[in-house]
Amino acid sequence: MSAFPNPHASIIVWFRQDLRLADNPALTHAVRSGRPVVPLYILDDQGEAPWAPGAASRWWLHHSLSSLGAALEGMGCPLVLRRGRSDVVLRDLVRELGAGAVAWNRCYEPQAIARDCALKADLKAEGIEVHSFNAALLAEPWTVKTGGGGPYKVFTPFWRAVKEGLNPGEPLPPPAALAALPTPPDGDRLADWGLLPTKPDWAGGLRAAWTPGEAGAARRLADFLDSAVGQYAEGRDYPAQPWTSRLSPHLHHGEISPRQIWAAAMAKGDSAPEGKGVDKGVAGFLRELGWREFCHHLLYHFPFLPERPLNPKFEAFAWQDDTRLLQAWQRGRTGYPIVDAGMRELWATGWMHNRVRMIVGSFLVKHLLLPWTAGQAWFWDTLVDADLANNAGGWQWIAGCGADAAPYFRVFNPVLQGEKFDAAGAYVRRWVPELAGLPDSVLHQPWTADAMTLRAAGVRLGHDYPHPVVDHKAARQRALDTFAAIKDDNT
């Protein structure tokens, strides 16, 4: 490879978690470089690939790549698809094309950082220009520091610090044109990657619920800001209501950027008439984006986050190992309606409302004493928004072993949670239809219904719907005792 860069050689834009044309700094850089552009996506899911996408994410990825591919094709610059170890595939393509430069937007998972740093050094040593950009975060993890110079472990001061210095700027427009190579390199056919389920095709619910891709993301943001953000502050905890944005899978796959969201939400806040709750809604919504930033901050500074508890005391926690209970939880057959509704929503749509994620998570780790890593693994496979930072952050938070975490002694009561956040029962009735005929008074605790009420609703407990797999009071006490044991051990 020549040590003298050829300014006419192509530039590879390596797409990863940034599957969009607008506000894509790597792509914008490539266009401005004046070089022919080669857009590339590498599927690195073979062998030992850590945290390769789960089944629901693979479904999303297929459709997102299909959408990006169509957009690039429309601009005369086809997306090249290759499969294998991404560092090897990228180096091979650079050589094959005699490319002069590579551009990408940064990822923040520990394995990706290690890979990208090594690649950057190798390519630069070979005379290839490498340019990387921030396209996924409002503030990159190393830019936010406590007074003592370390990372934050508490959300509120973290978010205050991020907001203080924050100026995300205007999102970049999509490129007006792309200069392609006269003969683009060969690539795989997306259909041959087998990302979609076939036998059986379980993705019907996902298809009905989602439109992956940049256009779908933009539409979802616009709809949310038009019709829901005003309800967000008060309503974001009610799972039967459409008052959260459902942007998480679009954000994870980079079909929309936090900068685009920030700009649109701020503009909405500025233009809204007074007193409609929009300002409050916008602030609350952006604060949740702040939790996403916080989780990325934690994963960057504590790269063991998906594997080990942040609070080392929890290394000694006496987790149970019970396949039968784990399966009851996974299948939505615990006998606690709000838990089962959440797990079935997840299975059907690849997504679950945040309040219910907290309820089912708490139930797994506290009522069943099953390890948070088992919950994390199930979510990883079934969520369309499965995200290493947010998933690990969410599970450690709920298990009480993470940063700024829910204290272990706070054990959600699934009956009271259901009665509070699904008082009219619309959520449970939708996802647990066998209980739909029960009156509200017993819907969240069907085992308390008398025989006549059950019969009138057509419910035979133990046949149509399970008895509770654990008793709440006893399970709560067991969780507190187990926690007390590790607390005492280490104090």
Catalytic residues: 288, 291, 319, 354, 372, 395
Shortest Å, Cβ 358 to ligand FAD? 5
Say how far residue 116 (Cα) sits from the centre of its chain: 21
The closest residue (CB) to ligand FAD is 394
Which residue has tokens 């219910």? 356
Shortest Å, Cβ 275 to ligand FAD? 22
Q: Decide whether 116 or 404 has the Cβ nearer to ligand FAD.
A: 404
Supply 68's token pair.
């990006």
Q: Decide whether 36 or 306 has the Cβ nearer to ligand FAD.
A: 306
Binding residues vs ligand FAD (CB under 6 A): 236, 244-248, 251-252, 285, 288-289, 291-292, 295, 354, 357-358, 361, 379, 383, 385-387, 390-391, 393-395, 398
Among 119, 152, 34, 27, smallest CA distance to 79 is for 27
Supply 232's token pair.
């967000």
Rounded Cα distance between 88 and 446, Å, is 56
What crossing angle do the helices spanning 110-125 and 86-97 adopt, rounded to 10°? 30
Supply 444's token pair.
């969240």
Shortest Å, Cβ 31 to ligand FAD? 28
Q: Decide whether 106 or 355 has the Cβ nearer to ligand FAD.
A: 355
Q: Decide whether 418 or 446 has the Cβ nearer to ligand FAD.
A: 418
Torsion, CA 88, CA 91, CA 93, CA 99, rounded to 10: 170
Q: Decide whether 29 or 259 has the Cβ nearer to ligand FAD.
A: 259
Shortest Å, Cβ 457 to ligand FAD? 31
Tally of CB atoms within 10 A around 227: 11
Rounded Cα distance between 418 and 432, Å, is 13
What crossing angle do the helices spanning 323-330 and 337-349 adopt, rounded to 10°? 70
CB contact at 8 A, 340 and 333: yes
Shortest Å, Cβ 368 to ligand FAD? 14
Phi-psi region of 63 (alpha: psi -120 to 50; beta: other; left: phi over 0): alpha
User: How far is CA 39 from each of CA 8, 21, 98, 104, 180, rounded to the nearest angstrom?
Assistant: 16, 11, 15, 10, 9
Q: Decide whether 78 or 258 has the Cβ nearer to ligand FAD.
A: 258
Shortest Å, Cβ 233 to ligand FAD? 11
CB contact at 8 A, 247 and 256: yes
